[in-house]
A and B are shown apart, each in its own frame.
Chain A
């Protein structure tokens, strides 16, 4: 089993990175908004950026230790880094690109390159230059180049940000297979909750250079624990609260009293509920609110509605998302009440 230990500090201008984590997971995800320091962590692990202090150890091999003055060069870390723009060498052909990372004699190089070309379905593209390839092909070449290098760990930095969205699912499937066959660990950095959910069993959520929470991916989506984590996992409805008693709170920004299943501890400052988890009802029940309809927007398979507490105009809008049955939906009966099911409420710390 491969163990990665990272405990580093790095100051860059006004930005402060201070993270500490351990990962034994096959594919670890780092989720955070742009500028939260996700890529910086990868750069420190790869040795491109030197942390101010701390320790980075992979499998017992010390990459960096500020106390012992150890700082291995990137060349000696055997780390595969897939850059956001793939960073292919523009003056080299596909074959030459793949060959750069291979150590060994000519015969071995040729065999290995041939194998990579086959594995990554690059037949017919060998003599092309990167600018003559599509985004997806470039990604495959970059992955082939990394795999030919036989790294101990692969780090993927926003691998799909440059891919047309209608191709993403196919490339997701390809990458999942590649990672499954890879005999090592990987780290995926992304701002997309869908990607980390698909690829990663464990998840670390970052904000402004700090780790907000980490844990099993599904647990964190189920209960993000922190306001920031709820936001980056896509929770649209979040409100400040006032505790009424152990099982009841007032959502200040929505103007409603809500009963909870979990105990409301002193640390809880916010409550959140995912837009898909709201229910619509015809009459007043427990945890319901009478609402005014504000507006709606359609995506191919969903409709997003926005409501506001009809008793109080100063409250925050509330999102409700529901699946459509067909493309041409007509706006049907607008619900009068929405319900916040107690089992779906997420109690959050700030």
Chain B
């Protein structure tokens, strides 16, 4: 056991955490902004935008990864433009991990936030308007505090999803040890090569992290409801 731990390279853990944190920050703002925009548009537009924003949740991650690859490949216009003009490369790089995780986890942030917005009684927003509150103040002082529980659980789920992302990441960022290899990718590689001990180590680590996340999630949501509901 000790022997094995000594031979483990911990870079996948660091890369997973780094990817999770950065993509959660990006997803947090994008998700809230997307949910806010969807609340403002007409019914038909809402349907269109909602479908697009939810798509990565429904698609197999490899499909999302394939589409991202089509977009950012160095043989493609956008990939070329970014690489040759700004020296930005997403294929086989760590930023690729972030983009992949972000795209896959974004729907969780967006949908949780939107659900929280939908819950808000419209008359409360109307009341704020008739009391002369400017729109930005209504958003920050009235809407956001009321939506806080939903936004918070969305954020935690986004983080959980992005540290565990596998499919799209392997397509776009590849599986390079020390560079793009996250825990999920390490597990796939180690077990494919028959090194079950190492794979098992990462599996246990992920299980522990997952339980912590679930506990925090429940704590957070129960803080906002005084008495939890029970169906029986």
**A interface list, Cβ under 8 A from B:** 43, 46-48, 73-81, 83-85, 87-92, 100-101, 103, 145-146, 149
Contact = CB atoms under 8 A, between A and B. Distances in A.
Nearest to B127: A87
Given A89-B127, A91-B146, A101-B131, 9 more contacts: A48-B129, A75-B133, A79-B130, A81-B126, A85-B121, A88-B124, A91-B148, A100-B131, A101-B133
Contact of B130 (A46, A84, A90, A91): A46
B131 A48 contact: no
Interface residues on chain B, size class: 10 to 19
Interface in B154-201: none
B152 interface: no
Contact of A83 (B127, B133, B134, B148): B127
A24 B132 CA distance: 25
Nearest to B145: A91
Contacts of A103: 132
Interface of A is mostly: loop
A92 B130 CA distance: 17
B132 A149 contact: yes
B121 A78 contact: no
A237 to B, nearest CB: 38
B142 interface: yes
Interface string B118-154: 0001011011111111100000011001101000000
Contact of A100 (B133, B145, B146): B133
A73 B135 CA distance: 11
Contacts of B126: 43, 46, 48, 74, 81, 83, 87
A75 B125 CA distance: 12
A87 B123 contact: yes
Contact of B132 (A48, A87, A90, A101): A101
Given A89-B142, A90-B146, A145 B123 contact: no
B123 A83 contact: yes
Contacts of A91: 142, 145-146, 148
A80 B124 contact: no
Q: Considering the complex of A and B, which 7 residue pairs feature the smallest CB-CB distances, nearest first?
A: A87-B127, A101-B131, A91-B145, A74-B129, A81-B130, A87-B123, A83-B123
Contact of A48 (B130, B133, B146): B130
